[in-house]
Amino acid sequence: MSGNKLAIDGGRPVAEGAFPAAWLGPAEIGEEEVEAVSAVVRSQRLFRFLDHENSQCSKLEAHFRNMTGSQYALAVGGGTAALICGLVGIGVGDGDEIIVPGYTYIASPSAVLICGGVPVIAETDDSLTIDPDDIERKITERTKAIMPVHMRGMPCDMERIMDVARRHDLRVIEDCAQACGGSYRGQMLGSFGDVGCFSLQQFKVITAGEGGMVVANRREVFERAAIRHDSAMCFWNPEDTTVGPFPGGNFRMNEMEGALGCVQFGRLAGILARTRELAKRIREAVADYDGLQLSPSHDIEGDLGISIALLFDTGERAKWFAQALRAEGIPAGSMYDEGIPDRHIFRFWEYVMEKRSADPHGRPWTSPLHDQTREYSPDMCPRTLDALGRTVTIPLAQTYEDRHADWIIRALGKVAVASE
Ligand SMILES: Cc1ncc(COP(=O)(O)O)c(C=O)c1O
């Protein structure tokens, strides 16, 4: 037994061993993945459109269509590519404002800028997802779309967000990069908005190394996204498309990624069943602990269960609590530290804060269609910084054994009691 003296004060740590790295999909990579990728390499057919119908990328698209219940899915080279194609899909361009949360990876506002729009940053609530009230406050005549981001697998308040969108006739693009397999009130994330975007990069729930997916229900949105993802796509079957030709790039997924993605997709349900089981067990055990408050959730059943989030009264207390947990051997972290430039937090998005651009003329910021008076500052969303500062998270992974969950529960109790 570890006794009551906190490890941070020289006591014995609760954890009797190390935690496995909190890898999700990558920790499952084994012979099946090796075989699937090898088969593609052996076939010498690495380009998905050689045999479109039977390609691995098409199979992966079918998995995402089935999962989200969407009419269309488009495999692309990454999550950022998915956002760019999705934004083009819903018609974003010069002069458009897109409302994004102050807590999301910098790729979300970057995709908006690459499409010629500008990001308008809204506050997050204590669940660390975008606050629908602040979305409404940030709407202007230029607003084109809202981008809810289901960070760390935590569902946004989709009912209220969709209501705001309907009342103001706005498009919705869901950034599901960190939330593959999540749901809100029984409906899969990615299927609420006009378009949903996923990432299959290394740190995501399932991985293809790199990769992304766009899902949509309207044909026009899908076609526009598809045209953007390949510079010649619009010429292949011009009679089948309702959208005229326009320039695209190359955001194609290759067959090795497609094959890896398909095997990993088969592992998704198993990974999430285990992370959700661990999260539930921990949440239920600590729900009544004095001095401990679990962060609010818009739908805990739909949450991916890939972390436990705790909310404290002050940032100072959150920082101390995280340190005390780490001393007990628990991999805990506070979410915001002024000295750590975390690109998931708006104030560290330097090129947004300083309105920088690759364009010598400063577009899109300098476009006459944009509001030239719009400014950004590191203190523009104080509630987001406050909520992040007061939050402590403990990552969970399917690789954790029951004893790891028990150590987390015991350490939370020990530190909470000692800090009373
Ligand atoms: C919330 C969010 N959006 C977008 C992205 C971009 O995805 P990718 O790295 O696959 O381009 C990521 C992850 O990197 C992310 O976490």
Query: Could you tell me if 207 and 319 lie in one domain?
Result: no
Report percent pLDDT > 70 for the chain.
100
CB 197 less than 6 A from any atom of ligand 1:
no
In this prediction, residues 401-413 reach a mean pLDDT of 98
Query: Could you tell me if 293 and 212 lie in one domain?
Result: no
Query: Could you tell me if 219 and 332 lie in one domain?
Result: no
Residue 384 has pLDDT above 70, yes or no: yes
In this prediction, residues 245-271 reach a mean pLDDT of 97
Which pLDDT value is given to residue 419?
81
What three-state secondary structure class fits 274?
helix
- Residue whose Cα lies nearest atom 10 of ligand 1: it is 79
Which pLDDT value is given to residue 131?
98
Confidence band for 53, pLDDT divided at 50, 70 and 90: confident
Query: Could you tell me if 222 and 175 lie in one domain?
Result: yes
Q: Please name every residue paired with 99 in a beta bridge, in sequence order, or none if there are none.
A: 120, 146
Confidence band for 400, pLDDT divided at 50, 70 and 90: very high
∠ CA(178), CA(102), CA(21), 5° rounding? 35
Query: Could you tell me if 288 and 202 lie in one domain?
Result: no
Which pLDDT value is given to residue 244?
81
CB 104 less than 6 A from any atom of ligand 1:
yes
In this prediction, residues 142-151 reach a mean pLDDT of 98
Confidence band for 2, pLDDT divided at 50, 70 and 90: low
Residue 307 has pLDDT above 80, yes or no: yes
Beta carbons within 8 Å of 320's beta carbon, 6+ residues apart: 419
Residue 338 has pLDDT above 90, yes or no: no
Classify residue 289 by burial, with Cβ atoms within 10 Å: 0-12, 13-18, 19+: middle
In Å, the largest CA–CA distance within the chain is: 74
What three-state secondary structure class fits 103?
strand
Q: In which element (H, E) is residue 109 found?
A: helix 107-114
- Tell me whether residue 20 is in a domain: no
Domain count, the chain: 2
CB 175 less than 6 A from any atom of ligand 1:
yes
Query: Could you tell me if 370 and 413 lie in one domain?
Result: no
**pLDDT, tens digit, 9 for 90 and up, residues 63-82:** 999 999 999 999 999 999 99
Determine how many CB atoms are found less than 10 A away from the CB of residue 166: 10
For the question of whether the overall pTM of this predicted structure is more than 0.95, the answer is yes
Query: Could you tell me if 175 and 312 lie in one domain?
Result: no
User: Which of 86, 78, 63, 83 has the alpha carbon at shortest distance from 210?
Assistant: 78
**pLDDT, tens digit, 9 for 90 and up, residues 83-94:** 999 999 999 999
Cα dihedral 279/285/287/288 (nearest 10): -170
In this prediction, residues 222-230 reach a mean pLDDT of 97
Query: Could you tell me if 95 and 170 lie in one domain?
Result: yes
- Tell me whether residue 8 is in a domain: no
Q: How far is the CA of 413 from the centre of ligand 1 (A)?
A: 34
Residue 58 belongs to domain spanning: 31-264+340-380
Beta carbons within 8 Å of 262's beta carbon, 6+ residues apart: 36, 56, 59, 60, 63
Which pLDDT value is given to residue 76?
98
Which pLDDT value is given to residue 336?
92
In this prediction, residues 263-268 reach a mean pLDDT of 98
Query: Could you tell me if 108 and 171 lie in one domain?
Result: yes
**pLDDT, tens digit, 9 for 90 and up, residues 107-121:** 999 999 999 999 999
CB 149 less than 6 A from any atom of ligand 1:
yes
Query: Could you tell me if 177 and 149 lie in one domain?
Result: yes
CB 199 less than 6 A from any atom of ligand 1:
yes
Report percent pLDDT > 90 for the chain.
93
Query: Could you tell me if 258 and 395 lie in one domain?
Result: no
Q: How far is the CA of 95 from the centre of ligand 1 (A)?
A: 24
Which tokens go with 328?
Answer: 């007990």
Q: How far is CA 362 from the centre of its chain?
A: 29
Residue 349 has pLDDT above 70, yes or no: yes
CB 105 less than 6 A from any atom of ligand 1:
yes
Q: What is the CATH number of the domain that holds 309?
A: 3.90.1150.10
Query: Could you tell me if 184 and 333 lie in one domain?
Result: no
